[in-house]
């Protein structure tokens, strides 16, 4: 069997430009669909009055970390915060999880940028966002917000 007739080769290899276009399309489609779904769910779900627990409407279990420690995990209250942001209740969303308002805005922006990428067929992810430092920065921001949420939770108990 020659290299031209490999059994697993189902189509001609893509040229690099077509491959890059396909990747841009998939990046844009994923961002638009995932972020659009999250934002749409934020309008459909009803915020839990406790400030956390709205995710239970999606048939998800209670937060295991919170059940064990009685402290919020980094994402406790995030779904509730998103539903409150969708209703324009910024203060209540921040009370639910301090990270919810900026995360909601980022989700909306990423979804819109993904849609823009689909329409214009251009790369919408900035060059700095594709660097190795971004995941480290995101983890640092999540950790900082988590610490703030824990402190807030402890102050509210007193």
SS (H, E, C) 17-82: HHHHHHHHHHHHHHHHHHHHHHHHHHHHCCCCCCCCCHHHHHCCCCCHHHHHHCCCCCCCCHHHHH
Per-residue pLDDT tens for 60-69? 999 999 999 9
Q: 120 in a domain, yes or no?
A: yes
d(Cα 69, Cα 156) in Å, to the nearest integer?
A: 16
* Number of structural domains found in the chain: 1
Residue 6, pLDDT > 60, answer no
Q: What is the pLDDT of residue 131?
A: 87
Q: 33 in a domain, yes or no?
A: yes
Q: 9 in a domain, yes or no?
A: no
Q: What is the pLDDT of residue 148?
A: 95
Alpha-carbon distances, residue 138 vs 85, 135, 141, 145 (angstroms)? 21, 5, 5, 11
Instruction: Note the pTM of the prediction, 2 decimals.
Output: 0.84
Q: 5 in a domain, yes or no?
A: no
Per-residue pLDDT tens for 132-158? 899 999 999 999 999 999 998 888 766
Query: What tokens appear for 75 in the block?
Result: 């994402």
Q: 7 in a domain, yes or no?
A: no
CA-wise closest residue to 52 among 126, 136, 143, 152: 152
Mean pLDDT taken over the chain:
90
Q: What is the CB neighbour count within 10 angstroms for residue 48?
A: 18
Q: 16 in a domain, yes or no?
A: no
pLDDT category at 100 given cuts 50, 70, 90 is very high
Residue found under tokens 């009055």: 49
Q: Which domain holds residue 44?
A: 21-157
d(Cα 21, Cα 27) in Å, to the nearest integer?
A: 10
Q: 96 in a domain, yes or no?
A: yes
């Amino acid at each position: 069997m020659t290299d031209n007739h490999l059994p697993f080769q189902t189509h001609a290899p893509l040229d690099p430009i077509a491959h890059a276009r396909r990747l841009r399309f998939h990046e844009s489609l994923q961002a638009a669909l995932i972020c659009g779904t999250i934002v749409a769910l934020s309008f459909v779900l009803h915020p839990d009055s406790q400030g956390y627990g709205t995710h239970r409407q999606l048939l998800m279990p209670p937060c295991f970390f919170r059940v064990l420690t009685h402290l919020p995990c980094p994402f406790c209250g995030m779904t509730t915060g998103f539903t409150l942001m969708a209703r324009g209740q910024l203060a209540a969303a921040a009370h639910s999880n301090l990270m919810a308002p900026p995360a909601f805005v980022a989700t909306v922006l990423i979804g819109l940028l993904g849609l823009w990428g689909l329409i214009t067929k251009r790369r919408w992810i900035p060059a700095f966002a594709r660097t190795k430092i971004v995941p480290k920065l995101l983890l640092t921001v999540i950790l900082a917000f988590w610490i703030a949420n824990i402190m807030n939770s402890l102050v509210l108990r007193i």
